[in-house]
């Protein structure tokens, strides 16, 4: 990656290297010799440092991800940092510096680097916006605690400790087959004697047909068992620790998915694995380690040891599902997109190297199809469309859109390759939803002046308090909800035509619209770093929303409906994108706005539900089995719908219900002479972006 002209000249100052920081993904070129902490700060990457770079506080730790990162075009290696310094040696002698960790205040850039900022040392790091919902279902967990008095040994009867324990439990729990997990063999004797022949056993039985098993034992009485519901997203991992006796969440937390260092989006991770054979175990370990950190953290919050947690439920998209289970996800990267495992799994924690109780059980929800994962199943479990009289459309947008459509008679599922535009990626000034990101936009219909709202600041930009507070976070980019709003507002105010062209003649009305080569752009924020919406940004959103709409429309045709009773928007998409704007842009089918709603973190809620209810597990297993899977990639109609859906709100669908509630520009069919007609990238978007 070195400049061939300068690479022979031993002048360090002239050499530059590309440094990418994860999980933020921020990157920049830096002269050799730059220390990594300075590089991070110059990019606005948050690395804590309390001691002023003297190598004392140890908060500025980083790790280098090794290997070839095709997307970024770099080869990252440990030895692209200067050797271990005296400061680092001293720190690692006094404190504990894990293998592979460096102090960024001391290590200097000597070549291209993929820098991982570990979450465990960051105290003020990002807060994951996923909270536990309160569930109103009767707890019926797979694992329950039973305290029994066990007969003392009697040499006339000669029955073993295990026999007497199991007999007592079988009677009390009304179970026929009950076995003792091998991990308890060594402690059974002492448990019984310490508890003076009274013990509490955790009994696990998921299906009625499964033999029940004692998976944990404590001397004496123990009132509560705990489980953890874990939602492994592409960028964040969120978990709720729950009391299994009453089903309530008692602690929640999240962390960044450390796999970001192997690729920002899922397809990059898949290609990392393809290009770095043998590195799959690193990815597997990274995600399991992160889950273990969460488990330990949540257990600690209520004074438990990780081994006190008896159950976990995992939901994840197909790629993360596979990596978590140790399965190579490359088959998900190309047709026929074959899942290796889709059925629900129930695995001992020790077999997944999770730090729960070693015999604790990990229930993994079933995947629906190659691009419709266990996370979508969890959404279905929360929203129960399969029990509904109403015909519901449920959409969860991550990097892919997962779409469920139907009612109690028939339920269809598909995914649509929206790409990450709705998350702020692929947008020139886009960023993740984080402090500093523009999340709301209004454009004055006359002056075309925008008002914005920024994450981290409670006021709109035309309120005086905004200026007082803006220095705290800055205005750093635009996130998913912001990009949807600005495009919709540009369309509503006439800056955009219904076919998505930034109108040149509008430049006459406002300086904010200006030429940008052969196209035009709209200046949304004219601060120190101006933020503009370019024609390519509009195109990215058109492609994404067309894919989403085409998927939904295809399913409606399959189901034979033209009208929906309800539209539910799940996940971050549903929580932060305004349904009005989503419909104005034509992301979702025409519908009365009153029946469109965000349903929050439905995947996490589904995991929680499966954690505390066996009934829920059987229910979703059956539902997933019954769901009709539609593969959009092979449906000719999808292409047609996709092209029609490029227009705002749509080229052929008039959206009468929307128009009855909101004033839109007149319905105009897209004309053939439109010079800037959107090009389809390679016919159809690259597939394989599992959500």
Q: For binding to a second copy (CB under 8 A), which residues are involved? A: 153-163, 166, 177, 180, 182-183, 185-186, 188-190, 207, 209-211, 325-328, 331, 335-343, 345, 347-348, 350-352, 367-370, 629, 631, 633-634
Q: Which is nearer to a second copy, 240 or 371 (CB)?
A: 371
Q: Kindly report the CA angle at 406 between 405 and 410, in degrees rounded to 5?
A: 130
Q: Which is nearer to a second copy, 413 or 540 (CB)?
A: 413
Element (H, E) at 566: strand 566-570
Structure tokens at 154: 């009697």
| Residue 575 CB neighbour total at 10 angstroms | 17
Q: Which is nearer to a second copy, 369 or 377 (CB)?
A: 369
The conformation of residue 147, written as its DSSP 8-state character, comes to E
Provide, rounded to whole angstroms, the least separation between the CB of residue 329 and a second copy: 10
Element (H, E) at 403: strand 401-406
Provide, rounded to whole angstroms, the least separation between the CB of residue 155 and a second copy: 4
3-state SS, residue 478:
strand
Q: Which is nearer to a second copy, 212 or 588 (CB)?
A: 212
Provide, rounded to whole angstroms, the least separation between the CB of residue 346 and a second copy: 8
Closest CA to 454 of 495, 482, 426: 482
Provide, rounded to whole angstroms, the least separation between the CB of residue 188 and a second copy: 6
Structure tokens at 172: 């009390």
Provide, rounded to whole angstroms, the least separation between the CB of residue 223 and a second copy: 26
Q: Which residues are 16's β-sheet partners?
A: 31
> How far is the CA of 273 from the CAs of 267, 269, 517, in angstroms?
10, 6, 39
Q: Which is nearer to a second copy, 151 or 469 (CB)?
A: 151
Provide, rounded to whole angstroms, the least separation between the CB of residue 336 and a second copy: 4
Structure tokens at 387: 């029990």
Handedness of CA 553, 555, 560, 562 (dihedral sign): negative
Q: Which is nearer to a second copy, 176 or 518 (CB)?
A: 176
Q: Report d(CA 469, CA 454) in Å as an integer.
A: 10
Provide, rounded to whole angstroms, the least separation between the CB of residue 627 and a second copy: 10
Provide, rounded to whole angstroms, the least separation between the CB of residue 190 and a second copy: 8
> How far is the CA of 560 from the CAs of 258, 406, 411, in angstroms?
43, 10, 12
Q: Which residues are 309's β-sheet partners?
A: 226
Element (H, E) at 300: helix 280-301
Provide, rounded to whole angstroms, the least separation between the CB of residue 377 and a second copy: 13
Structure tokens at 10: 């031993």
Closest CA to 375 of 396, 399, 406, 348: 396
Q: Which is nearer to a second copy, 378 or 583 (CB)?
A: 378
Q: Which is nearer to a second copy, 320 or 475 (CB)?
A: 320
Q: Report d(CA 416, CA 319) in Å as an integer.
A: 15
Provide, rounded to whole angstroms, the least separation between the CB of residue 636 and a second copy: 13
Q: Bin 257: left if φ > 0, else alpha if -120 < ψ < 50, else beta.
A: beta
Element (H, E) at 622: helix 614-626
> How far is the CA of 240 from the CAs of 130, 253, 447, 578, 684, in angstroms?
9, 7, 47, 27, 39
Q: Which is nearer to a second copy, 18 or 367 (CB)?
A: 367
Q: Which is nearer to a second copy, 325 or 454 (CB)?
A: 325
3-state SS, residue 32:
coil
Provide, rounded to whole angstroms, the least separation between the CB of residue 530 and a second copy: 45
Q: Which is nearer to a second copy, 207 or 681 (CB)?
A: 207
């Amino acid at each position: 990656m070195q400049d061939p002209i300068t690479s022979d000249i031993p002048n360090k100052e002239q050499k530059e290297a590309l440094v990418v920081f994860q999980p933020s993904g921020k990157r920049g070129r830096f002269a050799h010799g730059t220390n990594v902490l300075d590089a991070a700060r110059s990019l606005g990457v948050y690395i804590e440092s309390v001691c002023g770079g003297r190598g004392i506080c140890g908060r500025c730790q980083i790790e280098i991800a090794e290997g070839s990162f095709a997307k970024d075009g770099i080869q990252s290696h440990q030895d692209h940092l200067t050797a271990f310094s005296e400061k680092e040696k001293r720190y690692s002698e006094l404190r504990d510096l894990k293998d592979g960790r460096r102090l960024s205040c001391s290590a200097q850039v000597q070549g291209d680097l993929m820098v991982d900022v570990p979450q465990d040392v960051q105290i003020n790091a990002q807060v994951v916006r996923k909270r536990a919902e309160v569930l109103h279902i009767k707890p019926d967990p797979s694992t329950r605690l039973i305290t029994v008095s066990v007969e003392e040994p009697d040499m006339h009867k000669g029955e073993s400790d295990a026999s007497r324990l199991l007999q007592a439990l079988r009677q009390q729990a009304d179970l026929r087959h009950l076995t003792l997990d091998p991990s308890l063999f060594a402690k059974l004797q002492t448990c019984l004697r310490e508890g003076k022949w009274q013990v509490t056993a955790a009994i696990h039985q998921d299906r009625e047909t499964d033999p029940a098993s004692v998976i944990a034992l404590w001397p004496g009485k123990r009132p509560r068992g705990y489980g953890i519901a874990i939602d492994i997203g592409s960028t964040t991992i969120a978990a709720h620790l729950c009391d299994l006796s009453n089903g309530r969440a008692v602690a929640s937390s999240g962390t960044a998915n450390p796999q970001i260092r192997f690729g920002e989006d899922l397809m990059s991770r898949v290609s990392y694995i393809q290009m770095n054979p043998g590195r799959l175990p690193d990815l597997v370990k990274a995600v399991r380690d992160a889950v273990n950190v969460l488990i330990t953290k949540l257990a600690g919050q209520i004074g438990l040891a990780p081994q006190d947690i008896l159950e976990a439920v995992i939901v994840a998209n197909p790629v993360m599902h596979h990596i978590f289970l140790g399965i190579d996800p490359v088959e998900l990267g190309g047709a026929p997109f074959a899942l290796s495992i889709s059925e629900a799994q129930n695995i001992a924690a020790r077999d997944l190297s999770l730090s729960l109780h070693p015999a604790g059980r990990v229930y993994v929800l079933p995947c629906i199809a190659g691009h419709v994962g266990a996370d979508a199943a969890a959404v279905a479990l929360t929203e129960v469309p399969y029990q509904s009289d109403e015909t519901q459309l449920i959409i969860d947008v991550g990097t892919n859109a997962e779409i469920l459509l139907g009612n109690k008679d028939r339920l269809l599922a598909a995914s649509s390759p929206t790409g990450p535009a709705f998350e702020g990626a692929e947008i020139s000034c886009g960023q993740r939803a984080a402090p500093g990101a523009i999340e709301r936009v209004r454009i004055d219909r006359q002056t075309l002046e925008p008002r914005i709202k920024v994450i981290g600041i409670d006021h709109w930009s035309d309120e005086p308090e905004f200026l007082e507070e803006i220095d705290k976070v800055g205005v750093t980019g635009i996130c998913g909800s912001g990009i949807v709003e600005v495009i919709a507002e540009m369309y509503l105010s006439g800056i955009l035509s219904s076919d998505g062209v930034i109108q040149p003649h509008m430049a006459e009305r406002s300086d904010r619209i200006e030429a940008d080569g052969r196209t035009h752009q709209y200046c949304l924020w004219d601060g120190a770093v101006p933020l503009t919406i370019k024609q390519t940004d509009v195109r990215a959103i058109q492609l994404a929303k067309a894919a989403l709409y085409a998927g939904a429309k295809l399913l409606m045709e399959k189901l034979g409906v033209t009208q929906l009773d309800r539209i539910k928007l799940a996940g971050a998409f549903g929580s932060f994108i305004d349904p009005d704007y989503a419909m104005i842009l034509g992301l979702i089918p025409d519908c009365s706005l009153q029946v469109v709603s965000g349903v929050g973190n439905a995947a996490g809620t589904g995991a929680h539900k499966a954690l505390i209810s066996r009934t829920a597990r059987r229910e979703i297993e059956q539902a997933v089995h019954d769901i009709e899977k539609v593969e959009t990639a092979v449906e000719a109609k999808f292409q047609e719908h996709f092209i029609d859906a490029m227009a705002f709100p749509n080229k052929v669908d008039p959206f009468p219900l929307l128009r009855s509630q909101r004033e839109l520009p007149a319905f105009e069919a897209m004309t053939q002479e439109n010079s800037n007609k959107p090009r389809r990238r390679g016919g159809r978007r690259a597939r394989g972006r599992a959500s």
